[in-house]
Chains A and B, each alone.
Chain A
Amino acid sequence: GQQVMQIPQYQHVQEGEDFTTYCNSSTTLSNIQWYKQRPGGHPVFLIQLVKSGEVKKQKRLTFQFGEAKKNSSLHITATQTTDVGTYFCAGPGYKLSFGAGTTVTVRA
């Protein structure tokens, strides 16, 4: 699988604020997937990006695939307590390479 690196590892956010987590690869990716894992739960698929420069939105979540297809980002606006969890990006292939994740905590 193609290795992906995520930053930051931890994100502490005040409720109502925005934040962004990043996923980077040294090689071009044919696609990238994003997953969310709630505390004590299992990863749940959020979205897949395929095209260069692609932007997709899910309510307050905005996903972007870089022009060079080597990086991706997840931006959350007006963070809520329901956004708590770990967000993973995953590179393509059967050996789907997951990043280490960004763990998000929210201060009310």
Chain B
Amino acid sequence: NAGVTQTPKFQVLKTGQSMTLQCAQDMNHNSMYWYRQDPGMGLRLIYYSASEGTTDKGEVPNGYNVSRLNKREFSLRLESAAPSQTSVYFCASTTGLNQPQHFGDGTRLSIL
């Protein structure tokens, strides 16, 4: 039972490059989320998908796009990476509103 799987685990990009972070869950959860975590700033929501077919902006959506490909998969795309997007990115899923979130192991992304 894998839970929430994120790929890749580590990535180094150059400024201006594009990249897609992948996330898949096998718990039949309805809602999925993307967060970024920077030192001293906790977890900040980038985008979320309350259910298959819907996506909404979170606190820090600028510079990112998302796709809820199906119920299992929710990807995060950086179209033109910037050094300010250097961070640890976490994907999470939950059965629904106000339910416990299950997190993946994270993607550590560095942009030079």
Q: How many residues of B contact A (CB 8 A)?
A: 25
A20 to B6, CA, bound (A): 33
Tell me if B20 counts as interface (CB < 8 A to partner A).
no
Tell whether, in the assembled complex, residue B50 and residue A42 are in contact, meaning their CB atoms are under 8 Å apart: no
A26 to B106, CA, bound (A): 31
Q: How many residues of A contact B (CB 8 A)?
A: 25
In the complex, which residues of chain A have a beta carbon less than 8 angstroms from the beta carbon of B33? 96
Tell whether, in the assembled complex, residue A95 and residue B42 are in contact, meaning their CB atoms are under 8 Å apart: no
Contact with A42, one of B31, B41, B56, B105 (Cβ below 8 angstroms): B105
| A-B CB contacts (within 8 Å), total count | 55
A44 to B106, CA, bound (A): 12
Tell whether, in the assembled complex, residue B43 and residue A93 are in contact, meaning their CB atoms are under 8 Å apart: no
In the complex, which residues of chain B have a beta carbon less than 8 angstroms from the beta carbon of A63? none
Tell whether, in the assembled complex, residue B104 and residue A42 are in contact, meaning their CB atoms are under 8 Å apart: yes
A9 to B40, CA, bound (A): 8
Contact with B45, one of A96, A99, A101 (Cβ below 8 angstroms): A96
Contact with B40, one of A42, A88, A100 (Cβ below 8 angstroms): A100
Tell whether, in the assembled complex, residue A98 and residue B98 are in contact, meaning their CB atoms are under 8 Å apart: no
- What are 8 A-B pairs at a CB distance below 8 A? A30-B98, A45-B101, A88-B43, A92-B98, A93-B97, A95-B48, A98-B42, A100-B41
Which A residues fall within an 8 A CB radius of B?
1, 6, 9, 30-31, 33, 35, 41-45, 48, 88, 90, 92-101
